[in-house]
Each structure stands twice: as C-alpha cells, then as structure tokens.
Structure 1
C-alpha cells in the first residue's frame, strides 16, 4: 500500500495540542492512505465476525445516522455526486439500510467546527474527535458507553485490527472501566526505524550485514575512511544526522535508549527516557563518531531536506529511516539501491523500536441516546471490506481511487490496519519465492498486493522505475524488516497515554529545548558530565513535578 499522499493541517494542530487518552485521556501518529481496496459484503478475503441475532443484516425501514467529516484538497466525487450521494453513501443504504446524513464537511477547520458543536451541545450521532474533545464530551455525559455494543456487534476482523494496534490503544479509549470511543487506529508500529545502507558502497567494500551496533560503527568507519565511492577523496561520511535529531531515534534504540517518551522505570512507575543512563552511553558513542568524521561535520545546520541533499550528493552511506525510505531514495539516488536491515542491538538483548500511541489522533464517538449505536460497526465493517480486504479491481476503482479521484474519502468512518504494508509483503512473498512467477495465481491478492507483485517483476526485468517498490515490499525489502519486528515483538510503545498534565503543558517546551541543547553540545565534543548537569536541571526546573503527575495518572489509570 502506498504511503499517504496528503497531510491535514487541522490534525497537525490537534496533535500539537494533545497526544492521547487512556484512563482519563489519549494520543496518536499518521493520513488516510490511497491505494488499498476491499470488496462488498461476501467478497472479503477475511471473514466478518458472527452477527448477533437481534441485529438485522439490513435495517428495514432504513435508519439515519448523522455525522460530520473532513476532506482533502483533491477530487473525491464523480459528476452529480456529493457528500450525501456517492458510492459509499449508496452502499451503506443499499447494503445495510443506513442512511448517512453528513451535516458538513471541511478541509481546513474541522477541529474548530467540532469545538463549536460541542459548546452548543448539538452533536451528530457519530463523529471523530480529538483527545481533548473526547475528554470534554465524556465529562459532559454526551457520549455513549460502547462497552457492550463493541463486545456484541464488532466483528472479529475489527477486533483483530484493534488488537494489532496494541493493547494500549483500546486502553486509551477506556475511561473509568468503560469503552467510550472506538480509536481511529494508526500505523505507528509500521513506521518505526529501519537501518538503511547504501548498496554500492556496501558491495564495494565487501561488507557484511550488521548484527550488532558495533557492526554499525565499523561500517560507519569504513564508509568514512576507505573511499567507498572510489573518487580518491576524503569526502564521505558514515551516518546521516540532522540538526533536529529526527534521524537519531533508530541509533538510540540500538542502545536501549529512547527519544522523548515515557518508559517503565522498573519500580512500578514511569520515567522520562531522556534522563536514563542508556541515553548518556549512546551520546558518548555519537560524540566519538563525530570526532572521527563518521557524522557529517555540518549536521548541526542541516534539516532532513538538507540531509537528503547530502545523500543525493553521494556523501552519506547510512541512515536510520522508516519503511518508506526506499521510495525516497529512488528519487534522491536513482542510480543505486539501499539495503534495509533491522536495527541491531549493542548487546544480547534485542533492540526495541519505540513508537507513540498507535492512534491516528482521533477517536470515533457516538452521541448519548443514539437509537442504533451498533450501526457504527456495520459501517466500520464496510470500510474494512471495501478498503482493505477486497480482491476485485472493479470494486477498488468504485470505492477507493481511480484517475486521481479519492472516493475513499467519502467513507463515513475509518480505521487503519497497523500492518497493512506488511500484509502486502506477506501476500506476495510466497509468489516471489515460487519458481513459476509469471504464471502465479493473483486472483486472491488485494489490488495493492497485485500491483506490488507486478511492479517487482518489472523491476527484476530491469525497470528501475520500480526500484523503490522492490526496496519496500520485495523479498528483502523494508516490509520484511518490519515483519521481523512483529514476529519478535520488538516494540517499545509510549507508556504515557493520556492528555498532557498541567506541568507538562507549562514546562515541557523549555525542558525539551534544554535537552536538545545538551545533546548537541555533547555530540560536538562537550564533556559527558553535561548530561548529568542536564538531568539535575531538568528535575529542578519542572521535571520532578511532571514525573509526579505522570505517575499519579499511571497509578490510578
């Protein structure tokens, strides 16, 4: 499945304000993806759950469910269609007897308009809300308890998606023991760090796959000192780093250090990851790498765009990126491939990949007193059927996307499969491993998997247009790395899954600024005791207060 091609300003603003809800609040990562489809009822590749006897297959007479929605700034309607008359609205009415009445849709000010609705007390039957709005609605007694309806009416397929997202996701929607919303599950776990190594340099120096972080250091040294590009100049560096340290996360995880999350402290509480001794150890190694020019000496003035320019200029040989980097590198370095590897560990304990709460910033709520709250599970099932599990190209074109029109935006309710990209890899892996690739039966593949398979075969015939596709979902692509993380349970989720505490809102910006200044100083050569000074100052300037609030929540969640 291709990565989402648009971003949504409103959601960015929401996420900047609040991260998540769990015991009393919530959090999230990601944008709707285009490129994966699914079938009508009865045509899914995965069975729906059993239907309770008291709910009809189709409501007769039809019921009406009101909602509001946001959209994106590219086409989503055919001529004559509108927000209440389109393939999705017609499908809901014809298949389930649900008339979806969308009161309004917007592409710019969704959060503000929802705030106005909540203030008025006049809300639709179901809609998506931010973590802060979720808490407001709950406190005001305006939303339904979904505990029983979810247990009774959600299909096993829907429950499986929730389970794959991580136990903390449903926990974040559960307030005082009651499930008060359906999380809009995200893809945080598929976006965790992957180690990418430039293949031509790797091959030229006859290097071996890194099995430990020490191997990573040796590769960085070789790329810096052994003229991997063969130009007889001392102009290459081992590891990419940016001034905002966005590219540092994978490196830290290899040392069991974590960037800006809350982790279990081993004593029944939570602690901020930036204060832990593993962080100091990792910074000491980065300092040594910088001293030996294994990191670009100018990293301190380069954002990720500038880093990409350095990669395109053939100056850098390794980067901790994500599953999508194969496609990025196809554009930046079109004449060479990059090899993806799991982030190795510094010791015998596997490296764990950190990620935020796997929620796409929003929660689906149902208005208190709505006559048929269970109808949302039918609409959710339609989304899974038509967006994910479909094997028909015709259905894909009708409900998802064709010729630049994003029909999928009209689905009244959405959740994301956390590992949909990995599922594409899993579907085509047996076919890629078979001896008769050209005559493989593709009928059981989803359109996304079918397209990926065909593109990889084209790449193997020499079509470099699909180098990125092969690097992502080919046999040794980045999806296979994520699949290994899943198999080995190599994940470290954010442990603090509620709204920011009062002290956090007030003091975190300055504390993080102070932390990043310390990191920069140490990498550039300052004494390591700068870390200890930072820890002391962090605690005095609000860190202890924040930690107390975090652990008060953790104790009572």
Structure 2
C-alpha cells in the first residue's frame, strides 16, 4: 500500500493500496465528475432497455455482424443486478477491422495481486463472479495470473525467466517495471494507443502529470490512471482516551511521547489494570516514525542539490532515536519488530488495548475497531512538529497501478479494448458492486446496502481495476455511508483523515525510485542490512542511534555506495526537469 512498507520504492503494503491494503467500497466519484463515468453509470441504469434492444436484433442482424467479421458477445441478461449490457467493444472504444491482427481471438492474459482476500465460497482470483462478469461485459476474455503481493518481485522474476509472464504485467513498483523494460521484456505502446484506443487516449491527454511515470527513454511503455487520493499513512489516536485523561491533542513529537506515557500509566480504558499499550505499530508501518522527520529509511532526498540517502542526514538520526525511545520506554508493543502481517497490531487496536495507531488513512483501521468499540471516538492526528519543521503524511505518486505490455503479446488490440472498457465503466462495478444488490443510487451516489455483503462479495474485486476514475472526497464518503450509524462513523473518520493528510505537504524529493541499475542491483542486499541494524539498535539497551547510523553508512560504503551516489546524481540531473 505503496503502502507503506519500509522498502526502496516506498510502496504502501498497505495501501488495502489503495495501497496496499485495499479497502474497496469506501470511495468513489462525486456525481457527474466525468463524461466517461456518466456513460458507464448510464449503461448500468439502462440495462433493461439494452437487453430488450438486444433481443430485438434477431437472427438477421446477427448474421450481418458475423459476415462483417465482428464477434458478437451475448448479453448476460441478469438485469435484476443492474449489469451493463454486453458489448463487442467499449462504449467509446475504437474498432480496427483493417488490423492484420483483427482476426485473432479477443483474449489476453494479465497479472493480478493476490492478497488472499477471495472468500472460498466466491472462488479464486482466476475464477469468480467478477472474472466471468468482466469477460461477458468487456468482450475480451482475460486469463488472470495471481501474484502474491509480498512476493511480487520473486514471482515476476520467475515468470519472466521462464517465458511465462502474462501479457499485461501490472505493479505499483515502477523500478521493477523499468528493469523489465531495460531487459526487453516489454514493448512501447504509443502505436497501440493511437490505433486502438479512444477513451484512454483522451484520458492520458487530460492528465499530463502521468507522463513521467509511463514514459521510459522517450517512449510510452505504461498504462496508468490517477489515484483516487494520494493520501497513504496516518496516525490515529483515541480522542475518548484524551478526553478522559484531560489531555490535549499532541502537536509535537515530544507531546506525542508524553501522551503515550499517560496512555501507558493512567488506565485510560478504566478497567483498573495497567494493561494498555500506548502505541500499536507493526514493522511495515514503523516507517511512519521516519516520516515525522522527513527521513524515511532508504528514500533519496535532495540536500544542497545533491542526491542523498536518508541515512546520511541528521534527520534520520533523530528518527532512529525516537524509535529507540518508544521501545525502551515501553510505549510501543515490544512485538512490533516481528509483526510483519499486522496481526498483533490489529489485535491490540480492535480490542481497545492501544490508544495510538500507526497505520493507513483508509477505513481498514476503523471498520473493525468501531464494531468492537462502538462508544470510542477516533481522531486522525494532524502532522507533528519537530526541530526540522513539520512533514506531512506519506503521499503516493499520482498514478495508480502501472501496466506494461509483454513483448510477446499476441493481440494488443484486445488489450487496449479491455483498458478502454475498464476506464469507461468496468471499474465502477468492481468498486461498488451491482445496483440493487450491493448499492442503491441516491443523488447519483452509490450508497452501500449491506456492508458485510459488500465486503464479502466485492472487496476483492477492486484488484482487477488496472485503471479507474474513482475520486475520493470527505463529502462523498459520508454520503456513501447511508443510514448505518457505524458506517457513518467509519466514513466520517476516513473523510477527516483525507482532510488531515492534505493539510501539510509530504516531502518527497524523488517522485519514484531512481532507475539506476547499480542501485537496483544492491538495494535488496542493503535493505536487509540496514533493517537488521535498525532492529538491533532498537532492542539493545547499550546501543544508540549514533552507533546505528554509523553502521548503516559503513554498509553502504562496502557496497560501493559512493559510486552509486554519483550514478544517482547523474540520473537526477537528467530527470529533475520532469519532477513536479
């Protein structure tokens, strides 16, 4: 999610990516935001009319279509679910009957993140209600290849090496895709966009900010759409605990530490026992600590015009000092270092045993919490001041996923047709489900009918949205919640978090990881080393941040770090004009 992991490309493992821990059904477009959205929604609303017209076509028209060489895709006919009528091409898609590949089957293969969220009764990532629906509605048969999110690089490397990589390779990791491009795995797609696309071709013109992320060596290699919001991480705090103890919302890092001590010592849950943990944090989200000081581990910054790793700044030393203080003072759960899948963090949070949470901004931390703690009150914590100033919460890059075309793709026309369909209308149902089953429209807002049903039947579907036009605003979130009191609290909290996340700019000097082979070659090895050192400093009483930083810098030098610094500086000078 990029989310936020402690990795090189600052990909949020989170995000439930949005990041990475995607939380579907909590955000979407305000009414009538875009023409393409209207067309997609109108198709949904006019299903019965479409089906009736389809039946009226008759055998004669079908024969004409067959003679014309056009594949007629039969409609699903399930109008009670509000499904779009089947179509041989996207609403705004282009046909290319004269293409030498036009006689090929409208079929492609594509990757999808496997986060293990498809319920057994729903099927698998390869086959479920949504894979069947997409094939029927898009006119393109897609065979999906699941990619375990936590093993993405390893899985893709194996597939590429064996020649079994899918035709559409989708990832949040631009650096990995850049490597595939340099290895000749992918192909430029400027010609395909121009020849086969209508909707995406117009979309990319309206969003020039995406260009640096889809362009490599002057050519377009990637497909991408804008994120619904760039917000990523968040610190949540129990406002009801603050009120009970007569404490104010902390505004500085020092004040946060004092509040944490009060949560540890003053029985904020009122059970007469000293059994509360001040801060719930997992290994994945500990980078939020670094962000307070503009020093995320492994990130590059521009210091006096020079590309500089965070470890070579005084800011990182302060971040590591805070990390050690929280651990040694018993203000953070001692098991956070080994909590790599959020299990311990989540347990402490939803059972009401922690008062501060380092996590994501979206509804992941709030839904289960409010179910188990209905009388509690959460507040997203505004960015805190440090002696280096105030830094915002981590922001993701403007683009959502990035998708490249395998050089061995058989039918690029089918791929662009699927992209156009997804951008026009497919993303909507994959976000909100089916009208009348999962949502009902109120003032053009898809209001959830049953949160549990949505979570079970729709939450995993957003993984298939390689492009979308979803927009997130606090007003939309609250309107979407409907009348359910718990859902209203959740959506209000998330809306407040979006506002807080946008209140202070997050420092990100490099919009994406430098595409420097020398750096890529050692990044994994170096990350393992500095992660071990950070853990050792944090847990060992006799070691301090000064020692830890010196050790990390020494490890960098052993990997020929100075030469890599020079290469990254060269890359920065060449590309900085594109940084916005």
The residue number in structure 2 matching 1:95 is none
What is the distance in 2 between the residues matched to 1:279 and 1:261?
A: 11
Give secondary structure in 1 for the equivalent of 2:286: helix
What is the distance in 1 between the residues matched to 2:18 and 2:567?
A: 21
Q: Which runs of 5+ in 2 are unaligned?
A: 12-16, 40-90, 441-445, 576-580
What is the distance in 2 between the residues matched to 1:288 and 1:412?
A: 42
| Pairwise CA distance, 1:277 | 0.9
What is the distance in 1 between the residues matched to 2:294 and 2:27?
A: 38
What is the distance in 2 between the residues matched to 1:265 and 1:397?
A: 50
* Cα 1:153–1:76 shift into 2, 3 Å: farther
The residue number in structure 2 matching 1:46 is 34
The reply on whether 1:551 has 2:574 as its aligned counterpart is: no
* Cα 1:190–1:162 shift into 2, 3 Å: farther
The one of 111, 114, 137 aligned to 1:91:
137
What is the distance in 2 between the residues matched to 1:487 and 1:156?
A: 33
- The 5-angstrom pairing of residues 293-312 of structure 1 reads 293-296=330-333, 304-311=342-349
- Number of aligned residues: 479
- The 5-angstrom pairing of residues 214-253 of structure 1 reads 214-231=254-271, 233-242=273-282, 244=283, 246-253=284-291
Q: Deviations over 1:483-521 (max 9, x none)?
A: 333354435366425375223244442243223323443
What is the distance in 1 between the residues matched to 2:454 and 2:345?
A: 35
Q: Which runs of 5+ in 1 are unaligned?
A: 5-10, 22-26, 93-98, 430-448, 460-465
What is the distance in 1 between the residues matched to 2:543 and 2:7?
A: 34
The residue number in structure 1 matching 2:314 is 277
Q: Deviations over 1:62-119 (max 9, x none)?
A: 9564311356755679xxx999994434433xxxxxx4243x3344699969976886
| Pairwise CA distance, 1:32 | 6.8
What is the distance in 1 between the residues matched to 2:388 and 2:551?
A: 30
The one of 426, 429, 436 aligned to 2:475:
426
Q: Deviations over 1:222-250 (max 9, x none)?
A: 323444344555544533345x3x34333
Using structure 2 for the length normalisation, give the TM-score. 0.64
What is the distance in 2 between the residues matched to 1:502 and 1:85?
A: 37
Question: In 1, are the aligned partners of 2:122 and 2:457 still within 8 Å (CA)?
Answer: yes
The residue number in structure 1 matching 2:298 is 260
What is the distance in 2 between the residues matched to 1:179 and 1:84?
A: 30
What is the distance in 2 between the residues matched to 1:412 and 1:283?
A: 38
The residue number in structure 1 matching 2:532 is 513
What is the distance in 2 between the residues matched to 1:355 and 1:362?
A: 17
What is the distance in 1 between the residues matched to 2:237 and 2:193?
A: 49
Question: In 1, are the aligned partners of 2:6 and 2:285 still within 8 Å (CA)?
Answer: no
Question: In 1, are the aligned partners of 2:264 and 2:278 still within 8 Å (CA)?
Answer: yes
What is the distance in 2 between the residues matched to 1:122 and 1:107?
A: 11
The residue number in structure 2 matching 1:35 is 25
What is the distance in 2 between the residues matched to 1:85 and 1:287?
A: 47
The one of 132, 144, 166 aligned to 1:105:
144
The residue number in structure 2 matching 1:381 is 423
Question: In 2, are the aligned partners of 1:518 and 1:531 still within 8 Å (CA)?
Answer: yes
Question: In 1, are the aligned partners of 2:227 and 2:399 still within 8 Å (CA)?
Answer: yes
| Pairwise CA distance, 1:310 | 4.2
What is the distance in 2 between the residues matched to 1:328 and 1:83?
A: 26
Question: In 1, are the aligned partners of 2:366 and 2:490 still within 8 Å (CA)?
Answer: yes
* Cα 1:57–1:331 shift into 2, 3 Å: closer
The residue number in structure 2 matching 1:503 is 522
Give secondary structure in 1 for the equivalent of 2:140: strand
What is the distance in 2 between the residues matched to 1:335 and 1:50?
A: 39
Using structure 1 for the length normalisation, give the TM-score. 0.66
Question: In 1, are the aligned partners of 2:232 and 2:393 still within 8 Å (CA)?
Answer: no
The reply on whether 1:480 has 2:489 as its aligned counterpart is: no
The one of 514, 530, 554 aligned to 2:547:
530
What is the distance in 1 between the residues matched to 2:262 and 2:385?
A: 19
What is the distance in 1 between the residues matched to 2:106 and 2:332?
A: 56
| Pairwise CA distance, 1:313 | 6.3
The residue number in structure 2 matching 1:393 is 435
Q: Deviations over 1:192-235 (max 9, x none)?
A: 1x222223321111222233333323322332344434455554
The residue number in structure 1 matching 2:243 is 203
| Pairwise CA distance, 1:176 | 0.9
Q: Deviations over 1:16-44 (max 9, x none)?
A: 999599xxxxx9953776437999xxx96
Give secondary structure in 1 for the equivalent of 2:466: coil
* RMSD of Structure 2 on Structure 1 (CA): 5.2
* Cα 1:284–1:414 shift into 2, 3 Å: closer
* Cα 1:329–1:511 shift into 2, 3 Å: same
Question: In 1, are the aligned partners of 2:166 and 2:406 still within 8 Å (CA)?
Answer: no
Give secondary structure in 1 for the equivalent of 2:356: strand
| Pairwise CA distance, 1:427 | 1.8
The reply on whether 1:143 has 2:181 as its aligned counterpart is: no
* Cα 1:366–1:382 shift into 2, 3 Å: farther
* Cα 1:222–1:156 shift into 2, 3 Å: farther
Query: Bigger CA drift: 390-399 or 380-389?
Result: 390-399
| Pairwise CA distance, 1:482 | 2.0
Question: In 1, are the aligned partners of 2:277 and 2:354 still within 8 Å (CA)?
Answer: yes
Question: In 2, are the aligned partners of 1:186 and 1:415 still within 8 Å (CA)?
Answer: no
The reply on whether 1:318 has 2:335 as its aligned counterpart is: no
Q: Deviations over 1:508-543 (max 9, x none)?
A: 42243223323443xx46344313432442333224
What is the distance in 1 between the residues matched to 2:343 and 2:462?
A: 33
What is the distance in 2 between the residues matched to 1:226 and 1:209?
A: 16
Give secondary structure in 2 for the equivalent of 1:189: coil
Give secondary structure in 1 for the equivalent of 2:36: coil
